[in-house]
Structure 1
Amino acid sequence: MQHAKPLPGYLVQRYQGWRATTFVDNKAWYRRLAQEGQHPRAMVISCCDSRVHVTSIFGADEGEFFIHRNIANLVPPHAPDGDHHGTSAALEYAVTQLKVPHILVLGHSNCGGVRGCHDMCSGKAPELEEKSSFIGRWMDILRPTYERLAHIGNEAERLRAMEKEGVLASLNNLMTFPFVREAVEAGDLTVHALWNDIGAGAVEYYDETEKAFLPV
């Protein structure tokens, strides 16, 4: 593999610092994780955005969350013959093999993926309409959400609404997977819609009774 290069120096230093401190101080814990396998308490589907640090937000330790990240924290609808198998495979593994009791779909403020969908659908990003655009074809999952909210006149409000409604759309798509629906109906799995305001450090959850996102 001629293109593989050594790690950047700052990453090497950080790794060596972690191994000399955190790892050394918790050797027994890491040994247990290695020997007993993973038993996560929840699956989290979040955005690839580097500002969304799921484990920090919830104070999670290694082995606690099974995390899947993609552009705009989307869940595609169940489509065995479709093209979106990365997220679907992670979901299947979490539910059928790891038996996670909770799935959290976590959206966030100022999401670049949501902005990309908005710009594509409003004609501002024609390059995303090209069949060759991986981003555009992935954001097609969110296109119906844009169409439902296109009437909102203020762009900032429309984007914020898309971020939250996109989480709910993903939750609805979750329920199209037979193994998810069966686990939910059996009482073995709960699903949760969350949204993180990065700048305010706030997390909101969707309340079915209120039909709104409320502060955690």
Structure 2
Amino acid sequence: MFSDSAKMSKAIFWLQLRTFGLVVGWLEVIFFITSTIYWGTISLLERERHEKSETGHVIRNSFYLAFNISHLLTSSLLILGTIKERHLLLFPWLINRGLVLCGSVMLTNYYMKANDSLSILQCLVFILFNCFLISGIYSLLNDIKKSNELELQRLRLDTPDNIEDKSLSTKLDWNSYVYQYKFEPSLYDVNFPDNEDTDNLLKRS
């Protein structure tokens, strides 16, 4: 599923970064699916009880539904980005979580003015927990990005001049190198001639 670099990635407690990303992603998907169903059901029940729902309830239900759906989408992208090793797919989760963190700070400030000690404590715990999650996923993003850059550099070094000297483990490996060099020359910053030499390389694979 993951490249060999996953074995060398940093760990959070006892979890590798990629495992940490998947655990966070799946737990959030399960939680927000459940929460979306809950608030959707609440909204439907209130509409059935009252022909015209109160404006405050409608705004509240709409907010929670949008909140849960947005987190569900970003958590799904987090899982996909971790599996496919696409660091850009992790950005929506970080942005979404950053907005939540900012909202938590503002809410903490409000409770401090109201002198509500219990709510302040709850907000501080929530902020610390979110900082922990953001730190872990940001480290995962950098790890995937660095892994992809190293892989790209390795591919660029494998030109036809030296690829023949390399002992590739399988014919499939050889064919993938030749194919990428012929049909994706941008990886190597050179123009690969489409002539019989190319066809000979492909035949040898």
| Shared fold per TM-score greater than 0.5 | no
Larger radius of gyration: 2
Please state which structure has a larger fraction of its residues in strand.
Answer: 1
Please state which structure has a larger fraction of its residues in helix.
Answer: 2
Q: TM-score scaled by structure 1?
A: 0.23
Q: TM-score scaled by structure 2?
A: 0.24
